[in-house]
Structure 1
Amino acid sequence: MILEKDYTNTFEGVHTHVKESAEKMGSSGGALYIIQNDKVVTESYFGKQSNDIHARDVKSDTQFHIASVRKAYIGFAAAYAIYNGYFSIDDSIRQFVEDSHLSAYEGVTIRHLLTHTHGLKIENGKLISEYKPGESWAYRGPSIDLLTTIIKKTTGRSVADIVNEQVFEPLAFQSTEWIKMSQPHLKIANTLRDADDIIWTETDVVDGSGMNMYVSAQELALWGYIHLTEGKWGGKQLIPREIIQMATSIQTPNPRLPIHKNGFLWFVKDTNHNFNQIGDTVPKGSYQLLGYTNVALLVIPEENVVAVRMFNRYGSPEGYDYLKDIRSFGDTVYKWSIKSTMQ
């Protein structure tokens, strides 16, 4: 299925915001892709894929390393496993791990892993409990390793296998790949080392091997779109609605705590607070993921909009307020999506 294009509203303000952010961050290039009311309403590509003198122009088929945005695919696989009865969201993880005797696992459930409320932390090479599960929030790597391991152990398939079968193949995705190291056509600017280096972290685990995820702006937007439609594609229910609803609704064990609210690894908008990554004006129920490469995927159901920005810049310059930047991106998208519906 190819979505119709309608460029009546150019989303000028969002284009300006994205290009200004890219310049401030020192990104060599980027992309913007927005879907609203089941139509592609804007797309743009600018700059180069790296700072290399022979770098390729960023184009519609350019794939970006999406870093932590890949957690949306892990969350989907977890929802798939729960929907199909492989485990339950409030199951203790001790029944799935080999070193279940460790005291750090006490009270930790699948829900805690999915909402970053598990309290697990690696300190001096050992797994410890930083706080009692459910009583606080912290963005830590151990939860992703555990989730991917539990999904593989219970379903017999990796996260990659599940999303390939359930989404990538039915939707005929061509520009979404799991890759262990950057390839010449995937070069991206890197603040720490040359882009030919292996670039993966403990959070980049699919089935025990390090894998980055490279995706084009269009296919990341379509991934967001299948969530916006709650699994519908081309007028058919491709994915059970319950899988998407689980993944994108608040699952935080104690929603009254003044912490980030999460679905299945997605950040879900609840109330405004100064460490939120979703804009203050963006309506409740919207959800988003932001990666270390400054790639962002934002879904605003109230305005029937999906917005993707793609940058190829690892981290941000010293002193740069990335939270202010990403909140401003969301607020700008929301402002222009409202303007579109009023035209």
Structure 2
Amino acid sequence: MKEIEHRAEELISWVEEIKDKNGSSAGALYILKDNHVVVEHYSGRHSHEEDARIVQADSQFNVASARKSYLGLAVSFTLYDKYIESLDDPISVYMPELDAEIVMDTTIRHLATHSHGLHIDEKGQWYREFKAGTGWAYRNIGVEILTELIQRLYGKGFPQLLEERIFSRIGLKETGWRTEPDANLVNIIVEVTEPSLSGLGTTNDGTEKNLFVSAREFALWGQLHLQKGRMKGEQIVPSQVIELSTSIQNVAYHDESLPDNGLFWYVQGEARPRSEMGERVPRESYQILGVTGPTLLVIPSLNIVVAKMYNKRYNYGGEDYLHYLREFSNKVADLFTDSKQM
């Protein structure tokens, strides 16, 4: 046990080193193993201001693109609730106003796995980078389309849908699309020498990047998935909804370096060079992250959930970001694989 505690301290030291190296003012690491908290670490302040609030358990970080895991679950609900017939339905069936030529053969599956091939130019015009299903590119246009799709199908934004079906039922109070200042909200650092940003939005309907989550509730979101939708002795989310979201949903690519995806989650099948997860992370693991540094990693075979939080945009820096993400996930896998063997 002492060896495991020592290795966990090494992981915390790594998190702190990256925080300081890249200019985050805040950091957190929260790990659940067998549904028990085994690591809970907080450091820094909500901004670089001297009087900024110290990071605590109730500090809520802007998770940026990690919000896509929440949208992905809402997309999975649309199939379970029979609002759509299949992930392979063309998006034009539900949104006929879209340019038929540009979105030709683009399906809901393509949009949720970053394989749609759509992009937007500097003038705001849509264009096609590659034929849908033949490649992979991380573009937010798919998120925007599916956010609108949920609104149309349910008559409400996906945050409200999740609040009604999940958040309120498992008691999430530190998770939400924030529009008003609050002492618990961690600011976003763009450049260390510049004033920090609030990260607040103007609406809570999911169309903006204003989802704030505490490290402990981010981990609970991962735990909900790990436990196939069962929490507190109750089946909160149908297991098939979780399984659809967190299993590989993209078609096989000719380029074997491209990452596999569930519904926005990165999913580990064969280890992929361009995946966010390292080669030592077990199969069927899945992960999501945001540009401000938050990472949620779920490793079912080891029964662990890892929530790592930062507050600096482009926290991992330029072309090296994949290296740091893969290094961290490999360290986690090594730590808990070793503990399993002891």
TM-score (norm 1): 0.91
Code of the aligned partner of 2:100: L
CA deviation string 1:4-56 (max 9, x = no partner): xx999432222121111111111112000000112111111111111011101
Shift of 1:129: 1.2
In 1, the alpha carbon distance for the partners of 2:225 and 2:128 equals 33
Q: 2:20 aligns with which of 15, 19, 23?
A: 23
Identity in percent: 35
Q: Shift of residue 208 of structure 1? A: 6.9
Q: CA deviation at 1:188?
A: 2.0
Mark the CA change 1:232 to 1:158 in structure 2 (over 3 Å): closer, same or farther: same
Q: Which amino acid aligns with 1:28?
A: S
Q: Which residue of 2 aligns with 1:45?
A: 42
Structure 1 residue aligned with 2:134: 135
Partner of 1:285: 284
How far residue 181 of structure 1 moved from its aligned partner, in angstroms, is 6.7
Partner of 2:89: 91
C-alpha distance 300-40 of structure 1, shift in aligned 2 (>3 A): same
Contact 2:57 2:215 in 1 (8 A): yes
Number of the residue aligned with 2:226:
228
Any idea what the Cα deviations from partners look like across 1:98-139, whole Å, max 9, x if unmatched? 523431110000000010000111123211111110000001
Instruction: Find the aligned partners of 1:12 and 1:263 in 2 and give their Cα distance.
Output: 32
SS at match of 1:251: coil
**CA pair 205-109 structure 1, distance change in 2 beyond 3 A:** farther
1:75 to 72, 77, 83: 72
Where does structure 2 lack aligned partners over 5 or more consecutive residues? none
Q: In 2, distance between residues paired with 1:134 and 1:177?
A: 33
Do 2:134 and 2:254's aligned partners in 1 also have CA atoms closer than 8 Å? no
SS in 2 for 1:321: helix
Mapped to 1, the partners of 2:119 and 2:75 lie a distance apart of 21
Aligned residues: 335
Whole-angstrom distance in 1 between the partners of 2:315 and 2:101: 37
Partner Cα separation in structure 1 for residue 332 and residue 325 of structure 2: 11
Is the partner of 1:170 in helix, strand or coil? helix
> 1:260 deviation in Å?
1.4
| Distance apart, 1:318 and its partner CA | 5.3
Match of 2:301 in 1: 302
Q: Distance in 2 between matches of 1:74 and 1:205?
A: 16
Q: Higher mean Cα deviation, 49-58 or 252-261?
A: 252-261
Residue 209 of structure 1: CA displacement? 4.2
Q: Read off the aligned partner of 2:282 and give its amino acid letter.
A: P
Equivalent in the alignment of 1:195? 196
CA displacement at 1:269 relative to structure 2: 0.9
Give the Cα–Cα distance (whole angstroms) in 1 for the partners of residues 51 and 60 of structure 2.
17
Q: 1:238 and 1:317 mapped to 2: Cα distance?
A: 35
Once superposed, what is the RMSD of the aligned Cα atoms? 2.3
Report if the CA contact (8 A) 1:299-1:307 is conserved: yes
Distance 1:96 1:208, change over 3 A: farther
Give the corresponding residue for 2:214: 216
Q: Is the CA contact 2:158–2:206 (under 8 Å) kept in the aligned structure 1?
A: no
CA–CA distance in 2 between the matches of 1:103 and 1:270? 33
Distance 1:255 1:77 in 2: 26
Partner Cα distance (1:129, 1:230) in 2 = 36
> Which structure 2 residues correspond to residues 34-183 of structure 1 after superposition, within 5 A?
34-87=31-84, 88-123=86-121, 124-180=123-179, 183=182
Counterpart of 2:338 in structure 1: which amino acid?
K
Q: CA deviation at 1:197?
A: 5.5
Give the distance between the partners of 2:89 and 2:316, measured in 1 at CA.
41
Bigger Cα displacement from structure 2, 330-339 vs 185-194:
185-194
TM-score by length of 2: 0.91
| Residues 35 and 317 of structure 1: CA distance in aligned 2, closer, same or farther (over 3 Å) | closer
Where does residue 274 of structure 2 map in the other structure? Answer: 275
Aligned-partner Cα distance in 2 for 1:180–1:274: 38
The change in CA–CA distance for 1:151 and 1:301 in structure 2 (over 3 A counts) is: same
Residue 282 of structure 1 deviates from its aligned partner by: 0.3
**What is the CA distance between 1:171 and its match in structure 2?**
0.6
For residues 317 and 132 of structure 1, the distance between their equivalents in structure 2, rounded to whole angstroms, comes to 31
Distance 2:181 2:23 in 1: 20
